[in-house]
A and B are shown apart, each in its own frame.
Chain A
Amino acid sequence: MSAVRRRETWAALGFLSPWLIGFAVFMAGPMIASLVLSFTDYDVLTSTDFVGGENYRQLLADPRVRTSIANTLIYTALHVPVTMIVALALASLLARVGRRSAGFFRTLFYLPTITPKVAVGVLFLLLFNGQVGVLNSALGVVGIDGPNWTVDSQWIKPGLVLIGAWSLGSTVIIYLAALQNVPRDLYEAAEMDGASAWARFRAVTVPMISGALFFTLIINTIASLQTFDEVYTAFYGSANQQTYGNDAALFYVVYLFQQAFQFLHMGYASALAWLLFLIIVIITVVQVRLSRRFVYYESE
């Protein structure tokens, strides 16, 4: 390594050091602790007993773990593509509007992102109520008798996916930035070759923004697998909702939270956390492997 390169490396490490120290203290430490605790019977308050792999054996046999994993995976499989497609459509529209309007619409689309997730959960119950919700009222106008989104087991997850679209502003902004970086001459060349709008989108736009698409695929997948706030607020947050908690809304992190803080099974919850970590790693690795075929990086 050259002296210049070495100096640059040290400088980079210097600038990164606040984050690295923070990671070591607040992330790596608790992560290692939770790994150790996952092999114990730890309830936060009394003595800790080493139980070997018992927590992991238990979670493999726990039907509610299977329910929560299935719910979370189904939600992720629905939520991520819907978010990406809708966000890309919105970003494409934004890329076409004039500069003045673009600022307004960018703000408009981004504002919901800063709405607290807890508020979004409450909003879900109000807007999606089968009897008086705005969504079913709107569907009624076009002659559709909407379902009970917040109660019917088969409609809860699609409802949550729709409410998830409430906060896709960040993805829109990322796509917009990517779309604006696509060289105009590529479109001009395609047009000269007689490519239709769809062909230009498929052959120029998508490959050129594939890096952004891949990035949002990864972060949206991870975020979906860790969905908690809005689901917990809507179905488990208040005493009333806890009473009527629907198993269709038993997401993995909600169950983990219940085990940790409601039932005081912190050791078991730690094992659940590590299983989730493993699931996320596997899914991410698969996505990264697949991306090699589809993602175009300008620097390559």
Chain B
Amino acid sequence: MFIRSIRFAVGSALVLTLVAGCGGVGGSDADTDGAAVNLTMMGFGTGDEIAKTRFDAANAAIAPSSATAAEGSFDAQAFLSAVASGSPPDLVYMERRLLGTYAVKKALTPLGDCVDREKIDMGQFREAAVAEATLNGQLYGLPDFYNNRVLMLNDAAFAEVSLDPSGFNTGDWQGLSTAAVRLTKTSGGKLQRIGFDPKMPEFLPLWARANGAALVSDDGKTAQLNDPKVIEVIEYTVGLVNEQGGWSNFKSFRDSWDFFGAKNQFASNQLGAFAMEDFYLNVLAANSPKTKVTVAPFRGVDGQPVDWITGNAWAIPANSPHAGQACKWIKTMTDSETWIAAARARAEVRQKENKPFLGVFTGNKKADEVIFRDIVKPDPAVQTVLQAQETGFSEPAMAAGEEFKAAWQNAVNRVLEGKQKPAQAMAEAQQQAQAALDKANSGS
């Protein structure tokens, strides 16, 4: 009883002192049929036409009720405080990889009943995205975007060193190293161009899969960070970085890029190639449409395309004040028709701006079929992404997703900084990650 009082006191204090700015999280009206209620949410803003169109459609679906968007991305601190103080939002929008952590602690409502009641067509969603939102056989989120990882190659840089972009293959490690060094440019001991950025540590799951390994078992309960194949890719990719000037110069130079601007690393010829999420194609199309970039699939050592996918999901917190309305809302938000309407809205805006529109890659395959058939005429770059996503894999939902990720990221960072050897770092990470998974899965 005392502990419960303490928990309540801390929860209240957290709300009062830490998240005073996000008041109104809880709803005020009963979730009754026909009654107009105001749904509150966390993690989603209506910053562009894609978001706005879908948001309006979802609101129309629950009229006379409506939802209020909350600007800013998902804030774990605010969400925890709201749930702990008994004032959860009606809806929450977060990365799918986070769902497992909150699900195992019963902060999220399983969506089985919601799917049944609203007759949500689960067949419309991509399997990898659904798998990422499923823990111990229970669905905890409806998939939103579907972020693919592909290679983006700077045609100008390749031409400069007489390299053919079509021969650039991440499955041929020897050839990749040679190409990366050829593409790298330095002047006065300083990097002028990175040849190939392997995007470590954040793309380790992709590299591991490309080398025939996985960081965690299929059930998300056993860490496999010390798998020799994982260690092998770390040795190779860190070696790639070292061949191009070493981590310190590499990262410092990369931090200086105008990543989302017109003078981005491709437009400024500061990068030869990198693996990247598909959304960046739209950034390039909007900011430097004249820059020529070749898109290629990321290939494994067996020569086959590999695509690690991630994305966000819509979830309903436990004790959501208006769970029924929230279910209707997220059904509409993720429905194929809603995505198609949003894509049409984006296409119109881009047309008015006289800029290319490369489409949106959603977790809804039915929507994608229509978008890339009727709204977008896929260019070779988009075709590559579409082909890659057919082989997309996701990491399984985990009960301690954040700790797991921190363990391997910190380990790779230690290797990049030259503080540890890959085997030593990953042995340490394995121990930390497994301890975290065991603890979370034991329910303590």
Q: Which residues of A contact B (CB under 8 A)?
A: 26, 29-30, 33-34, 36-37, 40-46, 48-50, 125, 129-132, 148, 150-153, 242-247, 258, 261-264, 266
Query: Which of B50-58, B246-254, B360-368 interfaces with chain A?
Result: B246-254
Beta-carbon contact of A130 and B248 below 8 Å: yes
- Taking the closest CB of chain A, its distance from the CB of B168, in whole angstroms, is 24
A contact residues around B372 at 8 Å (CB): none
Central interface residue in B4, B10, B201, by most chain A CB within 10 Å: B10
Q: Is B84 an interface residue (CB 8 A)?
A: yes
Bitwise, B395-432 to A at CB < 8 A (1) or not (0) is 00000101100100110011001010000000000000
Beta-carbon contact of B191 and A44 below 8 Å: no
Query: Which of B75-83, B215-223, B301-309 interfaces with chain A?
Result: B75-83
Closest to A64 in B: B410
A33-B10, A45-B107 as given contacts; A132 in contact with B413, CB under 8 Å: no
- Taking the closest CB of chain A, its distance from the CB of B237, in whole angstroms, is 14
Q: Is B292 an interface residue (CB 8 A)?
A: no
Closest to A130 in B: B252
Q: Is B13 an interface residue (CB 8 A)?
A: yes
Interface residues of B in 175-193 (CB under 8 A from A): 190-191
A contact residues around B247 at 8 Å (CB): 151
Q: Give the 8 A-B CB pairs with smallest separation, nearest first.
A: A130-B252, A45-B105, A148-B252, A132-B256, A243-B202, A261-B77, A30-B13, A148-B248
Q: Please report the C-alpha to C-alpha distance between residue A246 and residue B252 in the assembled complex, in whole angstroms.
A: 13
Closest to B250 in A: A151
A contact residues around B101 at 8 Å (CB): 264
A129-B255, A130-B249, A261-B76 as given contacts; A245 in contact with B11, CB under 8 Å: no
Q: Please report the C-alpha to C-alpha distance between residue A200 and residue B4 in the assembled complex, in whole angstroms.
A: 62
A contact residues around B190 at 8 Å (CB): 131
Beta-carbon contact of B105 and A43 below 8 Å: yes
Beta-carbon contact of B17 and A45 below 8 Å: no
Closest to B400 in A: A263
A30-B13, A34-B10 as given contacts; A261 in contact with B80, CB under 8 Å: yes
B contact residues around A262 at 8 Å (CB): 76, 402, 406
A contact residues around B406 at 8 Å (CB): 258, 262-263
Can you show 24 pairs from A to B with CB atoms below 8 A apart?
A36-B2, A44-B83, A45-B80, A45-B84, A45-B102, A45-B106, A129-B252, A129-B256, A130-B249, A131-B190, A131-B249, A148-B248, A151-B247, A151-B255, A153-B419, A244-B251, A246-B413, A247-B414, A261-B77, A262-B402, A262-B406, A263-B403, A263-B436, A264-B105
A contact residues around B16 at 8 Å (CB): 26
B contact residues around A30 at 8 Å (CB): 9-10, 13, 17
Beta-carbon contact of A45 and B248 below 8 Å: no
Central interface residue in B7, B201, B436, by most chain A CB within 10 Å: B7
Beta-carbon contact of B105 and A46 below 8 Å: yes
B contact residues around A49 at 8 Å (CB): 444
Closest to B78 in A: A261
Closest to B79 in A: A261
A contact residues around B443 at 8 Å (CB): 46
Interface residues of B in 1-21 (CB under 8 A from A): 2-4, 6-7, 9-11, 13, 16-17
Q: Please report the C-alpha to C-alpha distance between residue A258 and residue B251 in the assembled complex, in whole angstroms.
A: 24
A148-B248, A262-B402, A262-B406 as given contacts; A33 in contact with B80, CB under 8 Å: no
Q: Please report the C-alpha to C-alpha distance between residue A214 and residue B190 in the assembled complex, in whole angstroms.
A: 45
Beta-carbon contact of B252 and A33 below 8 Å: no
Q: Please report the C-alpha to C-alpha distance between residue A50 and residue B251 in the assembled complex, in whole angstroms.
A: 44
- Taking the closest CB of chain A, its distance from the CB of B434, in whole angstroms, is 15
A44-B80, A245-B410, A261-B77 as given contacts; A131 in contact with B256, CB under 8 Å: yes
A contact residues around B11 at 8 Å (CB): 44
B contact residues around A246 at 8 Å (CB): 413, 417
A contact residues around B2 at 8 Å (CB): 36
Q: Please report the C-alpha to C-alpha distance between residue A263 and residue B437 in the assembled complex, in whole angstroms.
A: 11
Central interface residue in A48, A49, A263, by most chain B CB within 10 Å: A263
- Taking the closest CB of chain B, its distance from the CB of A24, in whole angstroms, is 12
Beta-carbon contact of A125 and B255 below 8 Å: yes
Contact of B248 among A48, A151, A243 (CB under 8 A): A151
Q: Please report the C-alpha to C-alpha distance between residue A50 and residue B247 in the assembled complex, in whole angstroms.
A: 44
B contact residues around A29 at 8 Å (CB): 9, 13
Q: Please report the C-alpha to C-alpha distance between residue A42 and residue B9 in the assembled complex, in whole angstroms.
A: 13
- Taking the closest CB of chain A, its distance from the CB of B305, in whole angstroms, is 24
Beta-carbon contact of A131 and B76 below 8 Å: no
Q: Please report the C-alpha to C-alpha distance between residue A276 and residue B248 in the assembled complex, in whole angstroms.
A: 32
- Taking the closest CB of chain B, its distance from the CB of A66, in whole angstroms, is 14
B contact residues around A131 at 8 Å (CB): 190-191, 249, 252-253, 255-256
A129-B256, A243-B202 as given contacts; A48 in contact with B444, CB under 8 Å: no
A34-B10, A130-B248 as given contacts; A247 in contact with B105, CB under 8 Å: no
Contact of A152 among B83, B105, B248, B414 (CB under 8 A): B248
Contact of A263 among B7, B83, B402 (CB under 8 A): B402
Q: Please report the C-alpha to C-alpha distance between residue A172 and residue B106 in the assembled complex, in whole angstroms.
A: 51
Beta-carbon contact of A41 and B444 below 8 Å: yes
- Taking the closest CB of chain B, its distance from the CB of A163, in whole angstroms, is 15
Beta-carbon contact of B17 and A44 below 8 Å: no
A contact residues around B444 at 8 Å (CB): 41, 49
Q: Please report the C-alpha to C-alpha distance between residue A247 and residue B84 in the assembled complex, in whole angstroms.
A: 31
